[in-house]
Amino acid sequence: MNKLNPFRKKYSDSELQQFAFLRKIPYFKELSFSEMSRFLPAIHQRKYERDEVVFFRNDPSQALYILEKGEVTLNIDIRADFETIIKVNEGRAFGENSLLENSKRIYTAIVNTEEALLWVIPNYAILDIFQNNQKIRAKMMTALASYYNQTNQQLFTSYRNSYGFFNLGQMFE
């Protein structure tokens, strides 16, 4: 017989919807509701308009962004122009290096639709949660390492397919 625990935290419909949305993001996928609930007070939503820059390359990594509505392009700057490296769609995160201390942005994020609605989780809040809960930190760092591993595999595949068009060795200098 399955007994209910009367002391177990009950979550509102709004919180359950937020958890369902966060679960779409690999960094939150393995977290329990209780663990995810630690992030809720820090999350705020922000609207951006077309061509608005969310952040520039080399800016301090001050927040993790989750795209609820719209599209954002991640771009590298080449001389005086930007080249889009990926389009981020709804239900995806970007600015993942904000999970690390003292990191800087490696690309520029620009809104590509009339409007974009982003969930913003400040870096200081993430690091505070990590400091007070090593289990959450371990789960999210494992997800980040997996993401970076997948990205490296894609980079090497792209390099092989381009027949060495660029000098990959510069990456390791």
The conformational region for residue 150 under phi > 0 = left, psi -120 to 50 = alpha, else beta, is: alpha
Instruction: Tell me which amino acid residue 159 is.
Output: Y
Q: How far apart are CA 135 and CA 66, in angstroms?
A: 22
The CATH number assigned to the domain with range 14-164 reads 2.60.120.10
Instruction: Tell me which amino acid residue 156 is.
Output: F
Question: Quick one: tokens of 7?
Answer: 């002391």
pLDDT of residue 88: 96
Tell me the pLDDT of the chain (173 aa) as tens digits. Answer: 445 555 567 889 999 999 999 999 999 999 999 999 999 999 999 999 999 999 999 999 999 999 999 999 999 988 778 889 899 999 999 999 999 999 999 999 999 999 999 999 999 999 999 999 999 999 999 999 998 888 777 766 766 676 666 665 555 55
pLDDT of residue 79: 78
Question: Quick one: tokens of 43?
Answer: 């999350």
Domain ranges of the chain: 14-164
